[in-house]
Structure 1
Amino acid sequence: MAVYALTSASGSPGVTATALGLALEWPNQVLLVDADPVGGSAILAGYYRGTVAHPGTLVELWSAHRQGGLEAAVRELALRLSETASLIPGPAGAAQAGGLADLWPALAAQLRVLSQLGVDVLIDLGRLGHTHFATPLARAADELLLVMRSDLPAVAAVAAAEVPLEAPVRGLLIGPNRPYTAHAVASVIKREVSVSLPWAPEEAAVLSHGQPEPKRGLKLRKALRQAAEELHTTSITALGVSA
């Protein structure tokens, strides 16, 4: 299976909501790691609206790592999101993220082990360039997905971004044709745009703020399901692993 990392070059294009949406629609066992250094447990505070307790965060993983128990902690501390998806919540804030530097290499190695055991991994890295950006986790990814909107400031930021990673980097576009098409965006950023998700604020609010699901449409969910299936298929074929 594969490790995918999601990040952005500017603003708040919806990295966390996208990562969560993909995890919920993933057709295989998948672990979502919230490594956004801004912190704040966005999924627990947003999607769950603070109503769900969790057995541990990356801070507890750091503690387990210091005691030699990281492998077990990754299994035991993950919060079950669905029958197939689990979550390791992020730190409470940037101050905590700064203390996790020695966890990243060990966690990166453990995530690679999980992928070899048949579990896909999604990592929410937050914004590129942050002081505490989890570079070792980014380097552990088989592919980095740059999440962006299709407006000029967002596209310009991605085009100018430096991504010093060996892993392939592709675009994930939210709201194509607002105003630029995926093809136009790809030509500017000089990277393939492999995933396009529709502009659907009401549906996105379900993931980001725990709002009730709209009674009609669900076009975002359908697009997330299709994207998840395609990314998982890529992990079986293009990445040279077996199901």
Structure 2
Amino acid sequence: MLIICVSAGGSPGVTSTALGVALSWPRGVLLVDCDPHPSQAVLAGYLRGVSESGRGLGALAESYRAQRSDSSGGLLEQTVALDDGSSPQRRFLPGFTHPRSALLFSGYWERLVGQFDDLQAGGIDVIIDAGRLDADGLPSALVERASTIAVVTRSNLPALATLRLALPQLADATALIPASPGLVVAGGGRPYSAPEIARQLEMALLADLPWDPATAAVLSDGAVPPRKLTNRPLWRALRGLALQLGGRPGVRGRRTTRGRGVIS
């Protein structure tokens, strides 16, 4: 199973959402930073400054150019642990380190996806943090393998206006595949509710993530976890999203009927 998390723009919490889902995933999982805009957010934030030590997509590109093996074992050698190594296995593949790296990687997505296929055959699912869409859109090799594309947005008008502008691009990218984009609203009700947004945009609602700054800071900044972290509202919602997405292929979320709204 391959899940893509993406946003239309801004910083609605794509990385925190993808990370939170990975940490709650019911099976072995690999979180992959495919954001074309380099940030190293997981290494510097949640992992509190862990060095990639030369591992990541850049090192994979070098191995592809050198015609080394494309085995899933070679891929896992480029990853770092997301937790203490307990079962199920949770790993992280660091992303690009230079602004033009994504462009230079464009010829290698098919080879990377082939390694993802091998991982999935061995019981390890893949979650893609695709960051925010750019003019080139999502790599087609990833989209073609995706079970679900989770589009993360805030609930304020600027974020929703940006998302509406990106919907044609998302529709074109997914026109010929089974996976259609689903909506993840981060901080619903600030001010518009998640069901209202889903109705207006005519998208399936995958999750309404509650406003919970203390928990969000753990994921984004590596902050000291609050007491009973796993019982916090945001953590529970992310766990629910992970179980929903990981429970079966082709998750579609809750369809809503179109109604009057404020997003035009």
Q: Does 1:226 align with 2:225?
A: no
Please say which of residues 206-215 and 217-226 is displaced more in the overlay: 217-226
Q: Does 1:4 align with 2:21?
A: no
Residues paired across the two proteins, number: 237
- 1:43-122 alignment runs, 5 A limit: 43-54=42-53, 56-66=55-65, 67-71=67-71, 72-82=73-83, 83=86, 84-122=89-127
TM-score normalised by length of structure 2: 0.83
Asked if the contact 1:35/1:126 (under 8 Å) is kept, the reply is yes
Who wins on radius of gyration, i.e. which is larger?
2
- 1:157-168 alignment runs, 5 A limit: 157-161=162-166, 162-163=169-170, 164-165=173-174, 166=177, 167-168=179-180
- For 1:104 and 1:147, locate their aligned partners in 2 and report how far apart those are by CA, in whole Å: 23
Q: Does 1:185 align with 2:186?
A: no
1:60 corresponds to which letter in structure 2?
A
Which residue in the other structure is 2:213 paired with? 201
Which residue in the other structure is 1:27 paired with? 26
SS at match of 1:70: coil
Compared CA separation, residues 132 and 159, structure 1 to 2 (3 A): closer
- For 2:251 and 2:242, locate their aligned partners in 1 and report how far apart those are by CA, in whole Å: 15
- For 1:93 and 1:70, locate their aligned partners in 2 and report how far apart those are by CA, in whole Å: 23
Please say which of residues 69-78 and 3-12 is displaced more in the overlay: 69-78
Q: Percent identical across equivalent pairs?
A: 36
Q: Deviations over 1:103-160 (max 9, x none)?
A: 2121122213322332211001111124585343233212111001111222222222
- Structure 2, unpaired ranges of 5+: 253-264
Compared CA separation, residues 40 and 124, structure 1 to 2 (3 A): same
2:49 corresponds to which letter in structure 1?
G
RMSD: 2.1
1:5 corresponds to which letter in structure 2?
I
Deviation at 1:196, TM superposition (A): 1.6
- For 2:232 and 2:251, locate their aligned partners in 1 and report how far apart those are by CA, in whole Å: 30
Please say which of residues 108-117 and 137-146 is displaced more in the overlay: 108-117
SS at match of 2:23: helix
- Structure 1, unpaired ranges of 5+: none
- For 1:130 and 1:186, locate their aligned partners in 2 and report how far apart those are by CA, in whole Å: 24
Deviation at 1:53, TM superposition (A): 4.5
Asked if the contact 1:172/1:193 (under 8 Å) is kept, the reply is yes
